[in-house]
Amino acid sequence: MKHQSSPAPAPLFAWPEAIEAARLELARKALVARIKALPVCSHRRIILQHQLTMLTAQLLELETRLKSQL
């Protein structure tokens, strides 16, 4: 007989981080859409690409913290 493990419960105190991760993901998607609408050599596009890089780094850091709490 196989031993079935139940799924790990969601951390009760990680919900603020989960909400923040969802917010960052939405902001990231919005930035990607804005970047696609701009010309390739646009100064504004370069600024938004930098913001996207920083936002992605924040999101990855937050997701890493959330996974370590599981």
* pLDDT, tens digit only, all 70 positions of the chain: 455 554 554 556 678 888 999 999 999 999 999 999 999 999 999 999 999 999 999 999 999 988 887 6
Residue 6: what pLDDT? Answer: 46
Of 20, 23, 8, which is closest to residue 65 (Cα–Cα)?
20
Location of structure tokens 């600024």: 47
Residue 47: what pLDDT? Answer: 97
Residue 4: what pLDDT? Answer: 55
